[in-house]
Structure 1
Amino acid sequence: MATYIVFTRESMQDQSELGTSLSAVGETFKGHPIKILAACGPQQVLKGDSPEGVVIVEFPTTAAARAWYDSPAYQEVTQHRFKAARFRAVLVEGV
């Protein structure tokens, strides 16, 4: 069953750190069955507060999503992301 990770950037703290994480994250995709569905494109907020950015990625299974998210390569990149901004990340299984 397809599984998605939805990332929302709530507030920016350090643009330089975000640039570092963005330049490194692509390497973490190697060997993982990831499909990027949305990446900080235009938003139309229908209800509630607007995040600064939204990224949605798809994996074929929850195990595949966790294998990428928990990988040492991605966890290293997240250290820059944590310094860059306040993010939320939610893993959700498809129907």
Structure 2
Amino acid sequence: MPAYAIFIKNSTKDADLLKVYGQKAAGARGDHPLTALAAYGAIETMEGDPAEGVVLLQFPDMDAAKAWYNSPAYQDAKEVRLRAADYRVLFFQGLG
């Protein structure tokens, strides 16, 4: 069953550091089976607080999603992200 990760950027703390995160996150893809379905496109907030940006990733299953997220390469990128911006990160199961 597919799984998805959604990264919701609430606010930017350091734009230059956020660029570093982008480079590290791209490099963390490695051979992980992920597909970027959306990344920082136009946003219309219908309910709730507005977001600065959204990324939606698809994985074959939740184990693959967690393997990517917990990989040393992404954890290195994550450390930069935590200093660069305030995000909400959710993983959820798709319909099979």
Distance 1:52 1:74 in 2: 21
Residue of structure 2 equivalent to 1:74:
74
Matched, 1:88 2:83: no
TM-score (normalizing by structure 2) = 0.96
Distance 1:16 1:58 in 2: 27
Moved over 6 A (4+): none
Residue of structure 2 equivalent to 1:43:
43
Residue of structure 2 equivalent to 1:29:
29
Distance 1:42 1:58 in 2: 19
Deviation at 1:12, TM superposition (A): 0.8
Distance 1:61 1:75 in 2: 20
Which amino acid is 1:40 matched to?
Y
Distance 2:66 2:43 in 1: 27
Deviation at 1:9, TM superposition (A): 0.5
Residue of structure 1 equivalent to 2:16:
16
Question: Could you list the runs of 5+ residues in structure 1 that have no partner in the other structure?
Answer: none
